[in-house]
């Protein structure tokens, strides 16, 4: 079974917003101080209303070690922020070998190359998100590998430290 990882809008690494497995376990992770995000009470109420409390576990901050353990079992990185000018978590997820699902605007849309490297969706469309997850689940392994390789290759070519360093040196060079 695959696992979906969702991170909060503009949350630093270590603050995953959610893990949504395809199998029996469904975990929702919330960012915030001491592991309690502001939305947690409302989300807990929703879980209660949906009667899925046995399938949802709330977690707080993950340290780097635990975050890497979580990423190691995740197939898809999903973040659908309303306003994300850059989207630095997308290249990080791509380099971890995760499939990418992001918003159809801003920096993530550019990183996803208009949807060529992953799924670019309207942030408020639950239907589009469900369709993307269904499409991902239906992909043959060879196509999954192709998406992963292309996204990692593209992100490495644009965002690797040595690439950014060369660009900065060029920009900061006298007479530039």
Using one digit for the tens of pLDDT, what is the confidence trace for 49-65?
888 777 665 656 677 88
Higher pLDDT pick, 53 / 141: 141
Which residues, at least 6 apart from 90, have a Cβ–Cβ distance to it below 8 Å? Answer: 77, 79, 100, 102, 107, 108, 111, 112, 118, 155
pTM, to two decimals: 0.73
pLDDT in tens, 63-110: 788 778 877 777 888 888 888 777 788 998 899 899 999 999 999 999
Residue 46 has pLDDT above 50, yes or no: yes
In sign, the C-alpha dihedral spanning 17, 22, 27, 28 is positive
The tokens for 42 are: 């409302």
Higher pLDDT pick, 149 / 67: 149
């Amino acid at each position: 079974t695959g696992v979906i990882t969702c991170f909060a809008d503009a949350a630093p690494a270590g603050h995953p917003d959610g893990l949504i497995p395809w199998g029996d376990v469904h975990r929702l992770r919330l960012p915030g101080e001491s592991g309690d995000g502001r939305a947690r009470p409302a989300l807990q109420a929703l879980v209660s209303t949906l009667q899925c409390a046995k399938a949802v576990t709330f977690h707080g901050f993950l340290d780097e070690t635990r975050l890497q353990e979580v990423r190691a079992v995740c197939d898809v990185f999903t973040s659908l922020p309303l306003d994300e000018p850059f989207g630095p978590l997308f290249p990080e997820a791509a380099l971890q070998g995760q499939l990418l699902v992001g918003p159809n605007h801003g920096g993530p849309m550019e990183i996803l190359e208009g949807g060529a490297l992953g799924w670019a969706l309207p942030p408020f469309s639950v239907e589009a998100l469900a369709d993307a997850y269904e499409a991902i689940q239906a992909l043959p392994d060879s196509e999954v590998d192709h998406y992963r390789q292309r996204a990692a290759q593209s992100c490495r070519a644009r965002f690797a430290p040595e690439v950014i360093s060369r660009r900065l040196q060029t920009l900061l060079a006298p007479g530039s």
